[in-house]
């Protein structure tokens, strides 16, 4: 199956700190997406970055993509307790993609 591998598996930080998590992959991609899952709101799409983009911002989120290293990072600035969740990356390799699925995710705990 085609999936990204998130790192670290778990991350614990204090409220107000920045959180960085990474996604590495092996195939070529058309785009890479980040999702968040918590018990309250289920699985929610955060941001999509295309293969020809290097960086994208959305509010307190910053995503970078390095296609030469086949890796992406998600930075959450000024974290809040509400950011406590699991974060997943999802790869899309184009119309011929099969077995696209999610990795195990990074479990982020933000301590108030």
Partner 1 sequence: EAGVAQSPRYKIIEKRQSVAFWCNPISGHATLYWYQQILGQGPKLLIQFQNNGVVDDSQLPKDRFSAERLKGVDSTLKIQPAKLEDSAVYLCASSLNRGNEQYFGPGTRLTVT
Q: Kindly state whether residue 63 participates in binding partner 1, applying the rule CB under 8 A.
A: no
Asked if 44 is part of the footprint of partner 1 (rule: CB under 8 A), the reply reads yes
> Applying CB under 8 A, which of residues 30, 80, 82, 111 lies at the interface with partner 1?
30
Distance CA 89, CA 17 (A): 22
Per rule CB under 8 A, is residue 12 in the interface with partner 1?
no
Q: Rounded to a whole number, what is the largest CA-CA distance in the chain?
A: 45
Minimum separation from the CB atom of position 9 to partner 1 (A): 10
Q: Following DSSP, what letter does each residue of 64-91 receive, concatenated? A: EEETTTTEEEEEE-S--GGG-EEEEEEE
Binding residues for partner 1, rule CB under 8 A, total 25
Residue 52 interacting with partner 1 (CB under 8 A): no
Among 11, 48, 61, 75, binds partner 1 (CB under 8 A): 48
Angle at the Cα of 38 from the Cα atoms of 35 and 40, rounded to 5 degrees: 125
């Amino acid at each position: 199956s085609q999936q990204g591998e998130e790192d670290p598996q778990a991350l614990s930080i204090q409220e107000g700190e920045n959180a960085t998590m990474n996604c590495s992959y092996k195939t070529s991609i058309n785009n890479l997406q980040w999702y968040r899952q918590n018990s309250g709101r289920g699985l929610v799409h955060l941001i999509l970055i295309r293969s020809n983009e290097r960086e994208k911002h959305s509010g307190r989120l910053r995503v970078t993509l390095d296609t030469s290293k086949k890796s992406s990072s998600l930075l959450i600035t000024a974290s809040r307790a509400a950011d406590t969740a699991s974060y997943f990356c999802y790869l899309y390799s184009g119309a011929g993609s099969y077995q696209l699925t999610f990795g195990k995710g990074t479990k982020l705990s933000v301590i108030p």
